Structure 1
Amino acid sequence: FSHTLGISTGLCTTSILSRRPLLRRSHFFIVLSIDQTADPLSMGITDLCHQTEPFTLFPTMKLTVQHPDKVIPDYILDQCAKHPSKIFLTQPYPDGSVKNWTFAQFLSESKRMASYIESLDLPIPSQIAIMSKNCAWWLMADLAIMMTGHVGVPIYPTLTKETTRYTLEHSEAKLLFVGKLDKHPWEEMKKGIPEGMKCVSFPMCPEGLEYETWDKCLEGREEMKEVKKRRGEEMATIIYTSGSTGVPKGVMLSFKNMTDPTFGLIKQVPVTEKDRYLSYLPISHVPFLSLTPLYLSSEQQGMERWIGECVPFVTGMHVYFADSLSTFVQDLNRCKPTLFLSVPRLWTKFQQGVFKKMEPEKLEKLLKIPVVSWLVKRKLLKALGLQDVRYAGSGSAPLPSDLLSWYRNLGLELLEGYGMTENFNYSHMTRVGRGRVGYVGEPNDGVTQRIAEDGELQIQTPGLMMGYYKNEEATKETITEDGWLRTGDKGELDDMGRLKITGRTKEIFKTSKGKYVAPAPIENQYISNKRVELACVSGRGQPAAHVIVLLNDDAIKMVKEGGQQDAIEKEMEALLKKVNEGLDEHEKVQFIAIVNEEWLPENGFVTPTNKIKRAKIEEEHAEYLDGWYGSKKKVIWHKWDDIKTIADTTQSA
């Protein structure tokens, strides 16, 4: 051959993408050997395959679980036996110190806690709850629950006392682990714990807890003698959806629901024992349990639990934890992650941080200079702590196209995906080199999709839940008789099977003109703006839609302390115009109402995952609508009566 190019499938995706110019010049392209975790068509070369003739592709292996009788806890036991002295977990403390656990230490501590649980003589299986921010003890407690034959019930540390009590009582939890709760006042939260419930406190728990401590439970205790074998069809966990409407529902997931999707994910995103991951998103969610970047379509997701538990348990990758928001940059640089998952708001803040130090126009010019470009990109990624990232994901909302392009230009391919707690978030994901702006990717391996007559996306997936705990009626409403999951999302498919979410079936509203409006896609355009924290598009029965906006902290400071209300108003007017230009006539938003309020889980405006509760927001502002529409203003300031006083005082000072 005049040109021969060999590429190892062991190369990371970034390395393969860097060889794209060579691939384009290749006359003959052959994939000879692919291992269990590699998929050449998701490694950034799909478009090139159509450009090189002839193209020969030997059959790649389909997803197969190596040992069908093994489940997630079996794999972590294997890792502990294989790498006893390798560091598995790294936990920072508030005083700046750090503690590491090797696999052997992790297993020993987990087994000693399992021995403690056995001493309680709980009926097998019983539900055992964990309420804590991400930490090493979370994983050890969960493994102890698995090894003793019980069922884990993760609880958000940000839930209201009412929701906490409901979850504990409805799940019939017999034991509760309480850990890091950050800024949430314990005196208020403890009112949600039923009287007489047995509780154990993690290290770094809130002060004033009078429960038996983790260390006290382990003191002088030997490891459990025999680990209970768990079967694939057994219930592994109950994850309660936070519920943007109604009461939370307990999603029952089996060990098979967790194991099969984990292997499907690792096939698409090859992960090894050499990878590093920073755990900071809520571990009470499926996403930490796995590793798929999510487009959060339902009221609660589990992105962080999937990534930070199942994938490390199977692969043995190193998990680092973040101590707090104030130490995030330090924690990120300590980890130097090779896998990084975040949400659009943080990706935007990363970009804004760069722009504060260098004007966008100047940066753009530097990135066009061949030699300088590489150095600038490397320096920027290092400053962000992302210089070693092989795979980066984003979830909770679609990324704006310009933000995606900006990171791509830096050499960071952001993957998006789609999923919900009810399918263990195993549904759709973008493939490297096959992404399309506005789309959340193609079906994962083993996933089948269809669009119902009413436009609803329905799927079949290995992660499909067993059902809702003690709620057969809701289960029947969610899963069709022929086994398809009703996602509640409206979707469209392109000719490659890539999915675009166009809205929620229950959120779409009709204006007084008889036209339907899907609010979610419009809201996503508003929250991608650097001044906006949250947005709620509404207008049921009104002549046109409107959007209620919550400014972020920086914008609020500009208004209240900097006297820049006029500047913010002009930016919002420009944003309104820009968004409307891309909408159909019946979708256009008439005005922006900027509210001076707090939207918190505690007051019912948002879920613990910071998803808006539309009904609550609409109800609270219904009495103001006539005045808002009648004012004919493009931007309305609601409850900002003290702005001028504060601004004038600041300027005088």
Structure 2
Amino acid sequence: MENFSSPLQAFNHWVSQSPNKVFLKQPINRKHLEFTFKESYDEAAKLASALHKLGVAPGDHVALLSKNCAHWLIADLAIMMAGCVSIPIYPTLGADSIQSILEHSESKAVIIGKLDDYSKQQSGIPDILKIGVELYGINEQHSWEQLVAESSPLSNIHHQEEDEIMTIMYTSGTTGAPKGVMHTVSAFNEISLTAIEKIALPPQPRLFSYLPLTHIAERAGIEMSAIYRGGEVSFPESLDTFGEDLATCQPHLFFGVPRIWQKFQEKILEKMPQEKLTKLINLPVLGSIIKKKIRKKLGLSQSAANFSGAAPIAVSLKQWYRKLGIEINQAYGMTEDCILSHFNLPGANKFGTVGKPMPGVISKLSEEGEILIKSNCLMHGYYKEPEKSTAMFTEDGFLKTGDIGEFDHDGYLTITGRVKDQFKTDKGKYISPAPIELELLKNTDIEQVCIVGTGIPQPIALIVLSEQGKNKSQVQIDESIWTTINQVNPALESFEKVAKAVIMKEDWTIDNGLMTPTLKVKRNQVEKIHMPMYADWFNQSENVVHE
């Protein structure tokens, strides 16, 4: 393997080694628009040249507002080639949030790509240089296609230095306003080379990009994997075609947040109830044929490594997949450490943990049990937030993760809660909700759960039903939920026992502000809306209350 020192150097290597190999596959109206490495390079170099001509100078900030698509990666390469700093923006954000990020980041230009409804976001873009991709119906001040057609490739491509800021990534904001995490070229270089060393994939692997590229896991795990390994990246055309697009791609690496793994399970059980599935997969010859068929239908027949991250995943769900021949490795990292932290890996996967420290990572626990991390991939602080930046580090340079954990005798880390998620009941006892929530999520009638209890004697569970749960009668649901609570409670301390379940009327979604773009529940928002009702719900006679 080449010892690269930057993403551009790695990309240039594959342009020279495999110029005609497909790098990006973008579905448009069910046909694939393909870009080879050489075509991607030329397009990016022309866009970089256009940026300079339009007055964007090296070191300037260039924002990127788009869902995952071929143009996202080409734009990111163009921003690097022009010597600029990329500011990715979540494509689901509303106009106000987009405006505040563009203004806070001091972006000089914004590249606008594939979006669901740009008309609702357009008013959030201030008077800066705007480049729209016509292919996705974005008609803006400047057309990507026209700029590329009129420009010659930039001849003096920027040479990336290891210590220069490459990107400012605004966190998805489970707690408060997004903060701009500054990362250098060397952070992405180190995480990419470490992944190549520890995660074995076929040469020039196939990859599937669908979780927001604005998120560190997708950026490092998929975009950088493709750039450093010379991979081929496919994208879903839409939510409706997601399953078909994934099955067509059959990627060699797959990363899903727990909610995605739950959704896949739901789809399988819709077609084949659990009892029948269990019976069939246990049959000697037929069982292995059925398992193979399910893996192929999901799109995971060729995957050498499957990961889950961003939130805890139930051990029971991983065991369920293992029976189908799909091994899910839980990993742990955050934007601030460029996800170089702890990973379970194929062949070294301990369920219930988030794995061991990756090479180059030193981790320890504070006196309070908070997980502290040190590596060469730590952020260079939050943009324009020196006090918040300082508060994130210990005096000896360890990053404070905000997570509480414990190590077992084999060195595997288990996360037991969040420092800020702990709440106190009116008995004065602190409760960590995450472990209880994970136990309840074993019930496939439950899609999302939030254990709360501020101001009441015992915790209660706020529950959003899964599709399977929504198809059951109220009597069936009440019985299902209360049976699960009775199974979970005996293992809990008396002050932790769940006293009630409350079934939510509405789903928690990105659109209503109760989930982050990475599909994590925004606990503080859920609490803000529902806390006034806790006492009423707690005092009702039913065990399962319907909102």
Cα distance in 2 for residues equivalent to 1:249 and 1:192: 18
**Which residue of structure 1 lines up, in the alignment, with residue 187 of structure 2?**
257
**Which residue of structure 2 lines up, in the alignment, with residue 568 of structure 1?**
477
Q: Work out which of the residue numbers 20, 43, 65 in structure 2 matches 1:85.
A: 20
Q: Work out which of the residue numbers 298, 306, 309 in structure 1 matches 2:223.
A: 309
Cα distance in 2 for residues equivalent to 1:309 and 1:418: 18
Deviations 1:415-458 (CA, angstroms, capped at 9, x unpaired) = 11000000011100013333222100000011011000011000
* Residues 352-371 of structure 1 aligned to structure 2 (within 5 Å): 352-371=266-285
**2:292 maps to 1:378:** yes
Deviations 1:33-81 (CA, angstroms, capped at 9, x unpaired) = xxx7xxxxxxxxxxxxxxxxxxxxxxxxxxxx825xx211111011101
* Residues 254-403 of structure 1 aligned to structure 2 (within 5 Å): 254-287=184-217, 304-403=218-317
* Alignment-mate amino acid for residue 617 of structure 1: V
Deviations 1:445-497 (CA, angstroms, capped at 9, x unpaired) = 11011000011000102210011101110111001221100000001000111
Check the 8 A contact 1:272/1:317 in 2, yes or no.
no
Give the direction of change, closer, same or farther, for the CA distance of 1:214–1:499 in structure 2 (3 Å limit).
Answer: same
Cα distance in 1 for residues equivalent to 2:394 and 2:317: 38
Cα distance in 1 for residues equivalent to 2:509 and 2:276: 39
Give the direction of change, closer, same or farther, for the CA distance of 1:500–1:609 in structure 2 (3 Å limit).
Answer: same
Q: Work out which of the residue numbers 450, 455, 467 in structure 2 matches 1:536.
A: 450
**Which residue of structure 2 lines up, in the alignment, with residue 470 of structure 1?**
384
Give the direction of change, closer, same or farther, for the CA distance of 1:506–1:359 in structure 2 (3 Å limit).
Answer: closer
Aligned partner of residue 499 in structure 2, secondary structure: strand
Identical aligned pairs, as a percentage?
Answer: 37
Deviation at 1:613, TM superposition (A): 2.4
* Alignment-mate amino acid for residue 620 of structure 1: I
Cα distance in 2 for residues equivalent to 1:154 and 1:571: 42
**Which residue of structure 2 lines up, in the alignment, with residue 419 of structure 1?**
333
Give the direction of change, closer, same or farther, for the CA distance of 1:162–1:565 in structure 2 (3 Å limit).
Answer: same
Give the direction of change, closer, same or farther, for the CA distance of 1:377–1:555 in structure 2 (3 Å limit).
Answer: closer
Cα distance in 2 for residues equivalent to 1:73 and 1:271: 21
Cα distance in 1 for residues equivalent to 2:68 and 2:463: 30
Aligned partner of residue 260 in structure 1, secondary structure: helix
Check the 8 A contact 2:458/2:496 in 1, yes or no.
yes
Deviation at 1:388, TM superposition (A): 1.2
Deviation at 1:206, TM superposition (A): 4.8
Check the 8 A contact 1:271/1:315 in 2, yes or no.
no
Give the direction of change, closer, same or farther, for the CA distance of 1:213–1:530 in structure 2 (3 Å limit).
Answer: farther
Deviation at 1:620, TM superposition (A): 1.6
Deviation at 1:246, TM superposition (A): 2.4
Give the direction of change, closer, same or farther, for the CA distance of 1:465–1:533 in structure 2 (3 Å limit).
Answer: same
Aligned partner of residue 589 in structure 1, secondary structure: coil
When the two structures are superposed, what TM-score results if normalisation uses the length of structure 1? 0.81
**Which residue of structure 1 lines up, in the alignment, with residue 8 of structure 2?**
73
Aligned partner of residue 326 in structure 1, secondary structure: coil
Check the 8 A contact 2:333/2:342 in 1, yes or no.
yes
Cα distance in 1 for residues equivalent to 2:232 and 2:99: 34
Deviation at 1:156, TM superposition (A): 0.3
When the two structures are superposed, what TM-score results if normalisation uses the length of structure 2? 0.96
Deviation at 1:536, TM superposition (A): 1.6
Cα distance in 1 for residues equivalent to 2:534 and 2:135: 46
Check the 8 A contact 2:66/2:91 in 1, yes or no.
yes
* Alignment-mate amino acid for residue 138 of structure 1: W
Deviation at 1:109, TM superposition (A): 0.6
Q: Work out which of the residue numbers 166, 174, 178 in structure 2 matches 1:248.
A: 178
Check the 8 A contact 2:211/2:518 in 1, yes or no.
no
Give the direction of change, closer, same or farther, for the CA distance of 1:602–1:406 in structure 2 (3 Å limit).
Answer: closer
Aligned partner of residue 45 in structure 2, secondary structure: helix
**2:541 maps to 1:627:** no
**2:525 maps to 1:611:** no
Deviations 1:104-139 (CA, angstroms, capped at 9, x unpaired) = 111111111111011122232011000110000000
**2:441 maps to 1:441:** no
Q: Work out which of the residue numbers 444, 450, 454 in structure 1 matches 2:364.
A: 450
Number of residue pairs matched by the alignment: 547
**2:95 maps to 1:189:** no
Give the direction of change, closer, same or farther, for the CA distance of 1:206–1:519 in structure 2 (3 Å limit).
Answer: farther
Cα distance in 2 for residues equivalent to 1:480 and 1:460: 10
* Alignment-mate amino acid for residue 133 of structure 2: F
* Alignment-mate amino acid for residue 16 of structure 2: A
Q: Work out which of the residue numbers 579, 585, 589 in structure 1 matches 2:498.
A: 589
**Which residue of structure 1 lines up, in the alignment, with residue 80 of structure 2?**
146
**2:67 maps to 1:133:** yes
Check the 8 A contact 1:113/1:218 in 2, yes or no.
yes
Aligned partner of residue 525 in structure 1, secondary structure: helix
**Which residue of structure 1 lines up, in the alignment, with residue 130 of structure 2?**
199
Q: Work out which of the residue numbers 86, 92, 108 in structure 2 matches 1:174.
A: 108
Check the 8 A contact 2:450/2:462 in 1, yes or no.
yes
Runs of 4+ in 1 over 6 A off after TM superposition: none
Larger Rg: 1
Deviations 1:527-552 (CA, angstroms, capped at 9, x unpaired) = 45323332221112320111212223
**Which residue of structure 1 lines up, in the alignment, with residue 34 of structure 2?**
100
Deviation at 1:373, TM superposition (A): 2.9
Check the 8 A contact 1:366/1:372 in 2, yes or no.
yes
Give the direction of change, closer, same or farther, for the CA distance of 1:272–1:352 in structure 2 (3 Å limit).
Answer: same
Aligned partner of residue 91 in structure 1, secondary structure: strand
Cα distance in 2 for residues equivalent to 1:372 and 1:552: 30
Deviation at 1:592, TM superposition (A): 1.0
Give the direction of change, closer, same or farther, for the CA distance of 1:338–1:602 in structure 2 (3 Å limit).
Answer: closer
Cα distance in 2 for residues equivalent to 1:344 and 1:467: 29
**Which residue of structure 1 lines up, in the alignment, with residue 430 of structure 2?**
516
Deviations 1:323-361 (CA, angstroms, capped at 9, x unpaired) = 111011221122111111112222223233333333433
Give the direction of change, closer, same or farther, for the CA distance of 1:387–1:249 in structure 2 (3 Å limit).
Answer: same
Cα distance in 2 for residues equivalent to 1:243 and 1:352: 28
**Which residue of structure 1 lines up, in the alignment, with residue 167 of structure 2?**
237
What CA RMSD, in Å, does the superposition of the two structures yield over aligned residues?
A: 1.8
Cα distance in 1 for residues equivalent to 2:65 and 2:408: 41
Aligned partner of residue 341 in structure 1, secondary structure: strand
